[in-house]
Amino acid sequence: MDQIVVTGGQRLNGTIKISGAKNAALPLMIASLLSEEPLVLENVPDLADVNSLIRILTNHGVDHRVDGKRRGQMDMDGRTIHFSAQEIVDTVAPYELVAKMRASFWVIGPLLARMHEAKVSLPGGCAIGTRPVDLFIASLEAMGADITVDAGYVIAKASGGLKGAEYEFPKVSVGATHVAMMAATLASGQTVLKNAAREPEVVDLATCLTSMGARISGAGTSTIVINGVEKLHGARHRVLPDRIETGTYAMAVAMTGGEVLLKGAEPGLLQEVLDVLTKAGVAIEPVNEGIRVSRNGANLKAIDIVTDPYPGFPTDLQAQFMALMTKADGVSSIQETIFENRFMHVQELARLGANISLDGQNAKITGVSELTGAPVMATDLRASVSLVIAGLAATGKTTVSRVYHLDRGFERLEQKLSGCGAQIERISS
């Protein structure tokens, strides 16, 4: 298994190109199931999760074609992929494919809406909590679906098609909002989703569905109204920039010092995070090309955060922020409110000399003056990148194993960081 070896101590200086957002690309790809006509997605990141989802979509009968490189296009530029679901050949999403990635469960919405049936394995994904699917089931049942769970599969039927309904999510869920919104585009009549997720990726999906002929208003607020249409048509859509990747590299620069332009980043997608970093003593400057992040000399201040659904501080940046706070002056606290088991990076950061104590969903981080390199193990996607960030600021060598977690969500991580002066390499074994 591959390892990543980081030799810490270098400041980061240069430019990092921000990729298309994984968490937008995945639901957008799934939306291709809704139409017989092709959906062309631009700026799709080259990630293991994207490739896993392509395999799942292929199993349902979706053809895909990746555009060749155009003149002047760089390796770092996202891919353009044409998805064509002219005919759905199978409405079953089997365990072997779905178990790898939770988002693959989301095919249940479009399959049910277009084919009036779906049989989808209960999902897998990062082991960051129990992650049930009750909200998906309840919202689809509200639209008239008949759902049973049997032998590890969710079996959904809607003979005669889904019907518009009013449904209030008891808890904010990004995935359940994506699925209910996609399903409602082809339901008869009006659907009103209350307490919907407001994440930018939900807005991106709504924008794409609208270009496909869906009638959606309110995406980005907690009430989304969808007026069902008979058919959706093809469209072309550009995946929005990855706010989690943006925040991750901003924290890496904050950690090591230096100055980096995050090219293509959109500050409006992560304002809360940028405000927190500014309070911590990091200089953030929105510029035409993206966001310039720098820290020169000044010490980091300890800042308390609580993770929350958007527009709050994202749980997907909690581990990276914890890594940053391990070297701040003073004591900071982090409360994780989204997932119940998302502190697996704590014991790995401790191997590098971090001083962190845990009490349920709360972590207390006492800043130390120095981290020292050590062998560590990646436990989930965002946790693993927090170890890389910490390694960049540690003295000596940090070896991160189980890096397949990183490959699920960070495109060309080593190239992006080494392009800014980091000493980082992948060792294949």
Count residues near ligand EPZ (CB under 6 A): 25
Residue from 10, 19, 23, 52 in contact with ligand EPZ (CB under 6 A): 23
101-160 residues near ligand EPZ, rule: CB under 6 A: 102-103, 126, 129, 131-136
Distance CA(23)–CA(25), nearest Å, equals 6
Find the shortest distance in angstroms from Cβ 369 to ligand EPZ. 31
Q: Roughly how many angstroms between the first and final C-alpha of the chain, as a whole number?
A: 5
Query: Would you say 26 or 33 has its CB closer to ligand EPZ?
Result: 26
Handedness of CA 282, 340, 104, 49 (dihedral sign): positive
Find the shortest distance in angstroms from Cβ 271 to ligand EPZ. 16
Query: Would you say 45 or 258 has its CB closer to ligand EPZ?
Result: 45
Does 25 help bind ligand EPZ (rule: CB under 6 A)?
no
Query: Would you say 84 or 307 has its CB closer to ligand EPZ?
Result: 307
With beta carbons less than 8 A apart as the criterion, state whether 65 and 239 touch.
no
Find the shortest distance in angstroms from Cβ 407 to ligand EPZ. 13
Query: Which residues touch 361 (CB under 8 Å, ≥6 apart)?
Result: 335, 336, 337, 340
Find the shortest distance in angstroms from Cβ 133 to ligand EPZ. 5
Query: Would you say 143 or 302 has its CB closer to ligand EPZ?
Result: 143
Query: Would you say 14 or 129 has its CB closer to ligand EPZ?
Result: 129
Binding mask of the shown chain, residues 247 to 286, with x at each position contacting ligand EPZ by CB under 6 A: ----------------------------------------
- Range list of β-strands (E), 144-189: 146-150, 153-157, 166-168
Residue from 57, 143, 154, 174 in contact with ligand EPZ (CB under 6 A): 174
Does 175 help bind ligand EPZ (rule: CB under 6 A)?
yes
Options 9-17, 28-36, 174-182, 255-263: segment touching ligand EPZ (CB under 6 A):
174-182
Does 410 help bind ligand EPZ (rule: CB under 6 A)?
no
Distance CA(186)–CA(226), nearest Å, equals 9
CA distances from 61 to 33, 35, 331 (A): 9, 12, 53
Find the shortest distance in angstroms from Cβ 382 to ligand EPZ. 5
Three-class SS state of 64: strand
Residue count of the chain, please give it.
429
Position with the least CB separation from ligand EPZ: 175
With beta carbons less than 8 A apart as the criterion, state whether 242 and 291 touch.
no
Find the shortest distance in angstroms from Cβ 153 to ligand EPZ. 16
Residue from 31, 34, 176, 254 in contact with ligand EPZ (CB under 6 A): 176
Distance CA(33)–CA(311), nearest Å, equals 29
Q: Is 241 exposed, middle or buried (0-12, 13-18, 19+ CB in 10 A)?
A: buried
Options 67-75, 169-177, 228-236, 272-280: segment touching ligand EPZ (CB under 6 A):
169-177
311-370 residues near ligand EPZ, rule: CB under 6 A: 314-316, 338-339
> Which uninterrupted H or E stretch holds 299?
none
- What one-character DSSP code corresponds to residue 96? H
Distance CA(10)–CA(420), nearest Å, equals 9
374-393 residues near ligand EPZ, rule: CB under 6 A: 381-382
- For residue 158, the number of C-alpha atoms closer than 13 Å in the C-beta half-sphere is 27
Question: How many other CB atoms are found less than 10 A from the CB of residue 181?
Answer: 26
Find the shortest distance in angstroms from Cβ 276 to ligand EPZ. 16
Distance CA(375)–CA(377), nearest Å, equals 7
Query: Would you say 48 or 374 has its CB closer to ligand EPZ?
Result: 48
Residue 208 annotated in active site: no
Find the shortest distance in angstroms from Cβ 111 to ligand EPZ. 17
Residue from 32, 35, 104, 173 in contact with ligand EPZ (CB under 6 A): 173
CA distances from 36 to 32, 83, 189, 231, 251 (A): 8, 10, 21, 9, 42
Options 213-221, 256-264, 310-318, 384-392: segment touching ligand EPZ (CB under 6 A):
310-318
Distance CA(406)–CA(303), nearest Å, equals 26
Q: Determine which one of 40, 56, 98, 126 is catalytic.
A: 126
Residues with active-site annotation: 126
Q: Which residues of this protein are in contact with ligand EPZ, per CB under 6 A?
A: 23, 26, 102-103, 126, 129, 131-136, 171, 173-176, 314-316, 338-339, 381-382, 409
